[in-house]
Amino acid sequence: MEKTVLVTGGGGFIGRYVAKALANKGCRVIAIGRGRFDKLHLASLGIAQWYERDISRLSLSEIREDFTEVYHCAGSGSVALSIADPYSDFNNNVLTTRDVLEFARERPGVKVVLASSAGVYGATTSLPISVNTILNPVSPYGVNKSICETLCRQYSDHFGVPVAIVRLFSVYGVGLRKQLLWDACHKITNKDVMFFGTGEETRDWIHVEDAARLMVCAADATVSSTRIFNGANGSSVRIREVLQHLAKLLDVNVEIKFSGMSRPGDPIHYEAEVLGSLELGWRPQVSFSDGLAQYARWFKSEVGCHKTQQSVRG
């Protein structure tokens, strides 16, 4: 029988890919979140039913269909925003997670898969980072995601809600219009090549398609209690190398420079231990070099399309 699942934040960057991965698996996908989309666009994402709502107990109760899994992809995903507007970050991450878990508690057997973040690890000097690493978040965003995880364990331990937590590291891919790669593409094409940090910082990148598949695998492997997985490739890349490669892909001849000053909440080195994820039978399928080239091509087409539209309007 066709399985019905719910994706919160289904119109967002990660939520869209999770919805598509579930549809490709043969699930009937219903989604809730912000944004208004036409039927053709929803069909391209594999979303059978869309609810344009903020995430709350009330809005979730308006969904009349029965479903067996909730993929909670809604929420803020920006360290900078959590510092500038901590109130909104708490509401968008913690309160929506609380309402999703309470909704699942009232429907025994419904699984919850939380898109968490490596931000919960914060400042750590032990690499690679395992899921058993002591959490030490250094930003409001990381703190709020750790609260979300605590809520998950509470609802799992005390109310029997099956939960899978996927701590996503540096997720990227076509459609991402924020964070390092998006900002870097704009800066490089404008030949504004001064970046924060030293360039020696490292990140563990995971393509959004691989991240989505991991979340689906995590749900399949979760029967009871709470299981935690790292969503990453299991290898790190220096920021300097990423930006230099990106400049070449964008056909811009510039020298990348660094200010030597770090932004608040930014860790220095991240590399994940992904043994638990690999034991699910999951494997990353998109190499970082291929994924970065794909992203650069998409960015150039987006910018070219935008300039054409401006020219037509002018």
42-98 residue pLDDT tens: 999 999 999 999 999 999 999 989 999 999 999 998 888 999 999 999 999 999 999
Q: How far is CA 32 from CA 10, 145, 225, 274, 295, in A?
A: 6, 20, 25, 30, 27
**What's the rounded Cα separation, in Å, for the pair 204 and 155?**
30
146-195 residue pLDDT tens: 999 999 999 999 999 999 999 999 999 999 999 999 999 999 999 999 99
Token digits of residue 46 = 């594999």
Per the CB < 8 A criterion, the answer to whether 99 and 55 are in contact is yes
Q: How many CA atoms lie within 13 A of 63 on its CB side?
A: 30
Return phi, psi of residue 228, to 5°: -120, 135
**What's the rounded Cα separation, in Å, for the pair 22 and 46?**
8
Beta-bridge mates of residue 29: 5, 47
* Model pLDDT, residue 228: 98
120-148 residue pLDDT tens: 999 888 899 999 999 999 999 999 999 99
Topology (CATH) of 4-175+207-234+266-286? Rossmann fold (3.40.50)
Helix axes 96-105, 140-159, angle to 10 degrees: 10
Q: Domain spans of the chain?
A: 4-175+207-234+266-286
* Model pLDDT, residue 314: 42
Q: How far is CA 118 from CA 19, 21, 143, in A?
A: 22, 22, 11
Place of tokens 């009871």: 224
| Res. 266 pLDDT band, cuts 50 70 90 | confident
